[in-house]
Structure 1
Amino acid sequence: MRTVIFDLDGTLADTSADLIASANACFRGLGYGDVLDPVADAKTAFRGGRAMLALGFGRVRPAFTQEDVSAQYPILLDAYSEAIDVHTRLYEGAAEAVEALRRDGYAVGVCTNKPEALADRLLVSLGIRDLFASMIGAQTVGVSKPDPKPYIAAVEEAGGVVAQSFIVGDTETDRKTARAAGVPCALVTFGPDGSDVRDLAPEALLDHYRDLGRITKDLIG
């Protein structure tokens, strides 16, 4: 079966404000207040909790170590779990585009570097979990993107084959994942990197979800 696999953060939904809030909860607990800005630091939010913590520590404790980051990471996850969908919104047309793919006979799944339980919970909250036949998160198969194993697992769990699939993402991580798996990649231009993703030379650029059907036919038929 022809299959389309989606990244989550920055691809299906803008989760940046809630992610930044979870990191700021850590810094407030350390007495620094809100160190990160939900708008200016949105790009870092999409690169994961550890990246946000490293950015914040760099501002308030330049001599920080990875032990500092590791100590705060579970606290960040707890804060995020408690307020996972306060500001998060699906990108315009995302749900409708996924539904259209399903009607046209494509399998669809999710491959994200967000912990699987959190990703699953967020999609349920957003009302779209039932649209996806697979859900592979960070470390679900022991490794995370850009290793190709999570992507391959997402395709196979959805009932597809890798040779007839592609990934929709928003960052260099998704581009590298596609290359490692030997599949095409469509990068959204409305994510954190905007039109700069053009420099990553993806097989397609997705400017709006209304274009997904056409791009899918171009990439995998």
Structure 2
Amino acid sequence: MRTVIFDLDGTLADTSGDLLAAANHCFRKMGHGDVLVHGPDSGVALRGGRMMLTHGLKRVGVYDEDTVQAYYPVLLEAYAQDIDTHTSFYPGALQAVEMLSDAGYGVGICTNKPEHLAELLLTRMGVRDRFASLVGADTLPVRKPDPAPLREAARRAGGDPDLCVLVGDSDTDRNTARAAGVPSVLVTFGPSGDDMAALEPEALLHHFDDLPGLVPDLIGAAA
């Protein structure tokens, strides 16, 4: 089987609002108030919890690595308690997933979000059953851009890891696909969309309506 594997944050869904809220919860506990701002800091949010803490602490001039490590579990707990308040899927994302599944592709997720949080989010959003596989940051001993999680996501979706395409939104996704020797599609509608062309993926995606038409040629070329 051929598979289409998706990144989650910034690709399938805009999760930045809830991530930033969890980070600001930490900054308030530190006594700094809300440090990160939705919109300008959305790209930082999609690069993970430690990056948000680092960025915010540097902004207020009190960065140190020990504080980042100490508050990272606090951030994860706050995020888990309020994971789907502001999160929404990008227009056409779920329709594209359904069309690909109906066309016979295995569809899965490979994310650098901890697996239990990805499971929780997808379950809360009512869409976990639409994805045949889910590999998170801690599912394996390594995470993206190592190719092993992508290949595992393809296998768990019932596919041949050499016959898949990765849909993502970052240099991490581009480098993961390159390391795995498979095509990548990078979305242009996320916070870092203007930077995607410079990464030279096999395709750029401006709207999910176009994805089902791109996939056959991309996986065919890889084969």
Q: Tell me if TM exceeds 0.5.
A: yes
Separation of aligned partners in 2, 1:204 and 1:126: 28
Task: Indicate the residue corresponding to 1:61 in structure 2.
Answer: 61
Task: Indicate the residue corresponding to 1:153 in structure 2.
Answer: 152
Separation of aligned partners in 2, 1:180 and 1:80: 31
Residue 179 of structure 1: how far off its partner (Å): 0.7
Task: Indicate the residue corresponding to 1:50 in structure 2.
Answer: 50
Asked if structure 2 preserves the Cα contact closer than 8 Å seen for 1:123 and 1:129, the reply is yes
| Matched pairs, number | 220
- What letter corresponds to residue 26 of structure 1 in structure 2? C
Asked if structure 1 preserves the Cα contact closer than 8 Å seen for 2:152 and 2:161, the reply is no
Task: Indicate the residue corresponding to 2:12 in structure 1.
Answer: 12
Superposed CA RMSD: 0.8
- The DSSP-based 3-state class of the residue aligned with 1:32 is coil
Among all aligned residue pairs of Structure 1 and Structure 2, give the percentage whose two residues are the same amino acid. Answer: 58
Structure 1 runs (4+) greater than 6 angstroms displaced: none
Gapped runs of 5+ residues in structure 1? none
- What letter corresponds to residue 12 of structure 1 in structure 2? L
Mapped pair 1:204 → 2:206: no
Separation of aligned partners in 1, 2:171 and 2:3: 21
- What letter corresponds to residue 201 of structure 2 in structure 1? P
Gapped runs of 5+ residues in structure 2? none
Separation of aligned partners in 2, 1:41 and 1:22: 13
- The DSSP-based 3-state class of the residue aligned with 2:112 is strand
Task: Indicate the residue corresponding to 2:37 in structure 1.
Answer: 37
Residue 141 of structure 1: how far off its partner (Å): 0.6
Separation of aligned partners in 2, 1:129 and 1:48: 21
Separation of aligned partners in 1, 2:59 and 2:105: 46
Equivalent positions of 1:182-197 (< 5 A) are 182-197=181-196
Mapped pair 1:177 → 2:176: yes
Residue 46 of structure 1: how far off its partner (Å): 0.6
Task: Indicate the residue corresponding to 1:217 in structure 2.
Answer: 216
- The DSSP-based 3-state class of the residue aligned with 2:77 is helix
Asked if structure 1 preserves the Cα contact closer than 8 Å seen for 2:112 and 2:136, the reply is yes
Separation of aligned partners in 2, 1:205 and 1:109: 19
Separation of aligned partners in 1, 2:65 and 2:215: 41
- The DSSP-based 3-state class of the residue aligned with 1:108 is strand
Residue 24 of structure 1: how far off its partner (Å): 0.3
Residue 195 of structure 1: how far off its partner (Å): 2.7
Task: Indicate the residue corresponding to 1:91 in structure 2.
Answer: 90
Asked if structure 2 preserves the Cα contact closer than 8 Å seen for 1:90 and 1:126, the reply is no
Task: Indicate the residue corresponding to 1:105 in structure 2.
Answer: 104
TM-score (norm 1): 0.98
Residue 61 of structure 1: how far off its partner (Å): 3.2
Separation of aligned partners in 1, 2:108 and 2:65: 33
Asked if structure 2 preserves the Cα contact closer than 8 Å seen for 1:107 and 1:158, the reply is yes
Equivalent positions of 1:114-129 (< 5 A) are 114-129=113-128
Residue 38 of structure 1: how far off its partner (Å): 1.1
Separation of aligned partners in 1, 2:159 and 2:210: 22
- What letter corresponds to residue 179 of structure 2 in structure 1? A
Cα offsets for 1:191-219 (capped at 9, x unmatched): 12113200000000011010011110120
Separation of aligned partners in 2, 1:219 and 1:129: 26
- The DSSP-based 3-state class of the residue aligned with 1:138 is coil
Separation of aligned partners in 1, 2:156 and 2:185: 21
TM-score (norm 2): 0.97
Asked if structure 2 preserves the Cα contact closer than 8 Å seen for 1:16 and 1:88, the reply is yes
- What letter corresponds to residue 160 of structure 2 in structure 1? V
Asked if structure 1 preserves the Cα contact closer than 8 Å seen for 2:99 and 2:212, the reply is yes
Separation of aligned partners in 1, 2:84 and 2:138: 22
